[in-house]
Structures are given as structure tokens and as C-alpha cells.
Structure 1
């Protein structure tokens, strides 16, 4: 019982500190479990072994993050997505439904790199002037970006999949391969939502009295930063496109470990696009901050999971919870948390959800015969779509700032649609046999 009390206190402190944002997740995820283990009576040498064992389960995913983020950062630098976005916007023209569908497609493509900020900065500035001209509400732009981002974040280098894989102690690519059918359903649902929103906006009068585009904003958007322009490689669009397709195909076929694919892809991209040592170093340094911050957090999470498992805290905590759960509901605990994953994830944030709540629910589910993989996949589906309506995600404020919308209005408009998408994806998971009841 003493071990369980320490475990619950540890989780509460971790969640509280992550929510307050007063301390780095890396510091929280290493320091608090270490203190908890000391209070439980374990020595430094034991704790060190627990941490080593935990980090071993996450190091592959950490390397994956470093090289995947660097790779897609380079693809953004060379202008791969800019050209595709430009062509799609031109094709949409003045058709309201086409505009909403193109918005979803751009957001889906933009989130290939797994970066929320990049997705927002690619999608919203390129589409917002058109939305204003066509009198389409900005809430629709935010909703479609959020939906596409949530669905695409299931990729192995996306935060939720990598975090869930860390908790499970498995390769993120192996987890993603199981989630692909659900991700395909999510893409279809997002495009369907885009059509529905286009119809709704058309009925509200969008496009009937389209105003002239804001010349000041258009000029500002068209005025490219000189340094950014120097990095673009329009003549190598074909090569970069084929390289990216080749990488995704290799991941799907699971030819080699996912981090190896991105290590090779990053090197090839640098050699072809930026042959000089100076240029290659500059690209690595440009993307180092985002790549390393996520990778180091993942390693820290491995340390936390190692301590929780090595000390048997998880088992002790799970046994206490089981004593309060009605026997009839025990085997459905993953379903319950899957249904409420979106509002829960929205309120407590990504790290607290995956590193604080998920390990505990997995352990409880195991006691009732629900596999860890089953619980994790159920919990990840609903949580994913909450990404851009959570006040704990910086990209949410970036997005609403770009269209000058209040957070409460964005949440009020988008919540019901995104909650619906999470439930549809969860249902699809059960119907397709990806997750079991």
C-alpha cells in the first residue's frame, strides 16, 4: 500500500508540474520518479539500473525523432510543400467547397513533418486571405486544420504515437503500422468534414458576395524572406518528392528500422540539396532545437517508465484502482478511457496524458485481461484529435492569433466536430479489428 501511495503522489506531482509549465518536462520526468524511488526505499544503484532499462526502450524512438524532424525540416526549407500548396490553392479558385477541401489536403500534407507549428504556419496564412475574400468563417479554417493535424499525428514521428510506443516499450513504426487503417479512416472523415463545412458555409452565403483580397496582407504573404528563398530548390522538386515518397513506402513496408530510414534520407537530402559542409551544418543547427527537445523528453520518459516498472509502483497502483472498479466494467476500461480521451487529453495535455495516465490504465487493463497494446491504441485515437483545441498546446494560440479568434470561440465551434471524429475513429478501430472490445 505504501508503494501505491508513493506512486499516486508521484503521478499527481508529475501531472501538476507539467500542467503548470513551470519546469522542463525533462527535469520533471527524471527528477520526480527518482525522488519517489528513494522514498520507496530503493538505493541509487537500483534506481540507476531502472533508468538504464527504461532508456533502452526509448532510444530508438528518440533517434527517429531527431532525424525525422530534421528531414522534414529540410523538405520545408527546400520548398517542397510551398509548391504543392500553391498549386492546390490555384485549383480551388472561388469554389467554397473546393476551398474547404483544399484546406484539409494542405493541412494533411503540411503535417507530414509532425510539427504543429509548421502545419499552422503553412496552412493558415496561405488560406486565410481566401477565407476572408470568400466570407468563410475563420472557425472553419481552424477546425479543418485541427482535424487534419490530429489524424496525421498518428505517424510514427508524431508525438502521440511515439509517446505511446515509449510507454509500451516498442518501436513507434511497429505501432503505426497497426494504426494505419484507422489513420486512413481519419483522413477520409476529415475530407468528408471539409465537404460538410463547405456546404454549410455556402448555405450561409459564403462566396456570393466575395470581397476583393486584402492587398496589404497578400503583398506581405507574397514577400518572401530573402534567406528563406535562398534555401529553396525548385529545380529539385521532383527529386525531393520522390525521396519523400520512397521514405514513406519504406516505412510502410518496414524494410529496416524507421530511424535508419530517416538517417539515410536526411543524409541523401543534405548531399543533393546542400552539398557544402557549411550549408549542411546550418541545416542541422536550424532544426536542432525542435528535434532535440522532443528526443530528450522521450529519453526522460523512458527513465520514468523504467523507475515505475522497476520499483513495481505500477502494479501496486493498479491493484488499488482495481479494488474500486466494478468487476463488470473492468474488461471495458480501455473503451471508457478511449471515449473520454479527447476531453481528458484536452484538459491535461500530451505529456501528462501519455506519461502520467496511460501507464496506469494499461496496468489496470492488464489485470482484467486487456492487453497493453489494446489499451494504448484505444487511448491514443481519441486523444490525438484534441491537439489543436487544447489550451496546453502552443500551436493552438499560434493558430487563433493568426486569424484573430478567441480561444473559447474556437473550442465552442470545433469541440463537437472533433469529438465526433474521435468517436468515429474509435468505432472504426473496433469494426476493423484493430482494437478489441
Structure 2
């Protein structure tokens, strides 16, 4: 009963998100609460489940508030105009060059293993280029997410560290086994960027074809008045480099770093109080909307864990696998990793599903290490398309894209990439049959 309700809940949530009939906040919070009620849990229990789940997302929620405002204000200073103009000049009229450049930027940006930072570096700098060249913003999201998924195999990336914890081994040792897969993934991503560039051209992308969205005259004058001179551009670039460096070395809580960075950015560029308030009010709505959706996703995870639906669903999945396929259970779950990653949070996947699969695999002679390697590949590719991953909402918020549109566009190439990486992992012997 518990497993059935859990599966029905996931189907309902995914269907509603894809159809776009309700706000993600409503879907992610209300549907799990309703499922918990059906399972017989009382209101106090459900409230506790939700509170526990939201508690795990608080830091990221605060991070998004300050980071979105920071990069919004930074864009107002005109810093990204310089970056955009340089990129456009280098790429010229070559749409494919722009999509490949996106893949390279996202790959380098994710060297620190932080999803939010990668999104905040790649999306704001490339989004204006895509608009000018009339390239579909879903392509920007797709390429960025694919590169993040592959680079997240680094030992300081969350999935590898979690899998290593379950395996009770050093994360660096596990990463060394994953390096060939990671190299293959980077090559596939460059190929994906080329294909996406070709698709963009067929969709009408190209120099001079972009639609310039002119704001109202008063609004345009106001934006122009906020632009800073060349002298401030170097300071703003240096400040942003310091902020990103602080995030990379883990000098403190990420939201504290962005809060302090925002304070300095506003104080130096806009010492007038009224202007500071105007800028905060300008960018606050999108920041709050992203954070609210994130908290709702946390509520869903809390209900998942608190009601025991996760464990019941995992057991049900194990029960339907025929004994004859037991020796291939790691391959089966490697192929199912992306779909599972869409519905299940990272912690739930690695600390809930993976140990169960590893346990079943051991009974069929499949080493736990082999199972972990197969399962980690596809899960990473679901990184920026899952409604349970904070970076997903940050990315779609920065590009003004609907979640359902992003999912419909990006899931097919992500799934093909994940299956291809598992298959090539088998070919080169990283994943053993």
C-alpha cells in the first residue's frame, strides 16, 4: 500500500509539472501531504515531515535569495555586457561556436563541484548571447546541465562523495575509477553542443536574427542610468572573482559569502540608499520565487523519508526483478538511474536506494563497487533537470523558462547520454558485467 501510494504520488507530481497546470510550489508541497494523509498519518506528523524536509533546504534557499540578487545587480552594472560583446566577437556568426563555448565554460565552471556556482557563472554570461543570436534558451539549459552532470563525478562532488561513503572507501579512489567515464562524458558533451548548435540553426538562430526586447522608454532610461563606467567594471570583476574563490575554497557559508559580496557591490557602485532599495526590489521577486519552490521540494523529500514511502518503493522494485536478471541488476539500475534521479533526491538515492540495490546485487554475485559505479553515472545526468535539485530552479529562473519546457527538451538527450556512458563504461571495463 505504501509503495503504491508513493508511485502514484510521483506519477501525479511529474504529470502536473509537465502539464504546467499548477505552480511547482503547490504540486511539490500539496501532493506529498495528501499522500501522507491517505497513508493514515496525522496532521502533526505531516507537519513535522515537511518541517524536517524544509530544514535540509534552508541554506540553499537563503543562498539563492542573495546570489540571484547579487548577479542581478552585477548585470545592472554592465559587467556582463563586456563579457557578452567579447564572446560574440570571438564566435562571430557561428552558432555552433557559441554552443561549444557554452559547454567549455560550464565544464570549467564546475571544477569546484558546486552546482549553484556553475549555474550563476554560465547562465548569466551566456543568456544575453543566446538572446542576441536567437538561440533557444532551452539549449543553454540543456548544455549547461549535461556538463554539470559529467563534471559532478569529481571526488568533491556530492554524488561521488555519497557513493564513497556508502562503499566505505575514499572518494578519490572511487573517482580514479570513474575518470575514463568522465573523459568520455566530456567528449559526448562537446558532440552534444555541436548537435544543439545545428538544431538551433534549423530553428532560425543566427547573427541579426535575435529579437531585441525593448523595455519601456522610462525603464530603458532607468537601466542606462544604473550602468557604471569602465573604472567600476574592473572592481566588479575583481569582487566577483573573490566571491567565487570564497565559494570554491569553502571559506564560509555560501549564502554569507554572497550576502557580504552583495553589500560591497551595492555600497561601492550605488552608495545612494534609494537606488540600493530600488535594485533589491527589482530582483527580489525572482529570488523569492526560486527559493519558495526549493522549500516546497524540501517538503516533498521530508514526506518521502518520514512516511517510509521511499523504502517501500525500493523493496517493491526489487520484488519485480526476475531472478534470471539478478546478475545484471547493476546494469538495470544504471539504465534506470536518470528516471529515478528525476523523482528521488540525491541523499535518498545514495543513502536509500543504492544500499538496497547493492545488497540485492551481492546475493547474485555483483560486487557493490560495480553497482555503485553503474548507478552513479545516470543519476548525475539528472542533476539539472530534476524538480528536487535546487540548481534546476535557479537555472530556469535565470532564463525565464518553464520547468515543464526544460524537462521536455532536456530529458531525452540526457537519457541518451547516460545510457551511452553506461554502455561505453561496459566496453572499456569500468562497469563489469
Bin of the TM-score, shorter chain as denominator length: 0.5 to 0.7
Match of 2:288 in 1: 292
Q: How far apart in 2 are the matches of 1:306 and 1:283?
A: 35
**Which sections of structure 1, spanning at least 5 residues, go unmatched?**
129-137, 166-174, 205-210, 400-406
Q: How far apart in 2 are the matches of 1:312 and 1:91?
A: 54
Match status 1:318 vs 2:318:
no
The match for 1:368 among 330, 334, 357 is 357
State the secondary structure of the residue aligned to 1:45: helix
Match of 1:280 in 2: 276
Q: How far apart in 1 are the matches of 2:420 and 2:93?
A: 31
Match of 1:256 in 2: 252
Query: CA offset at residue 364 of structure 1?
Result: 3.1
Query: CA offset at residue 337 of structure 1?
Result: 2.8
Query: CA offset at residue 355 of structure 1?
Result: 5.3
Q: How far apart in 2 are the matches of 1:278 and 1:114?
A: 26
Query: CA offset at residue 225 of structure 1?
Result: 3.1
RMSD (Å) for aligned C-alpha atoms: 5.3
**Which sections of structure 2, spanning at least 5 residues, go unmatched?**
110-116, 162-170, 359-367, 387-391
TM-score by length of 2: 0.65
Q: How many aligned positions are there?
A: 375
Matches within 5 A, 1:169-318: 225-233=220-228, 234-318=230-314
Q: Deviations over 1:367-426 (max 9, x none)?
A: 123799979853443235779xx9xx9799989xxxxxxx9xx97xx9997767656877
Q: 1:239 to 1:40 in 2, by over 3 A?
A: same
Q: 1:358 to 1:113 in 2, by over 3 A?
A: closer
Match of 1:62 in 2: 61
Match status 1:123 vs 2:129:
yes
TM-score by length of 1: 0.65
Match of 1:15 in 2: 14
Tell me if structure 2 keeps the 8 A contact 1:151–1:384.
no
Q: How far apart in 2 are the matches of 1:322 and 1:50?
A: 26
Query: CA offset at residue 237 of structure 1?
Result: 0.8
Q: How far apart in 2 are the matches of 1:197 and 1:61?
A: 31
Q: How far apart in 2 are the matches of 1:308 and 1:36?
A: 10
Q: 1:436 to 1:359 in 2, by over 3 A?
A: farther
State the secondary structure of the residue aligned to 1:225: helix
Query: CA offset at residue 239 of structure 1?
Result: 1.1
Q: How far apart in 1 are the matches of 2:129 and 2:106?
A: 6
Query: CA offset at residue 57 of structure 1?
Result: 0.8
Q: How far apart in 2 are the matches of 1:271 and 1:144?
A: 32
Match of 2:31 in 1: 32
Tell me if structure 1 keeps the 8 A contact 2:6–2:310.
yes
Match of 1:168 in 2: none
Q: How far apart in 1 are the matches of 2:280 and 2:331?
A: 46
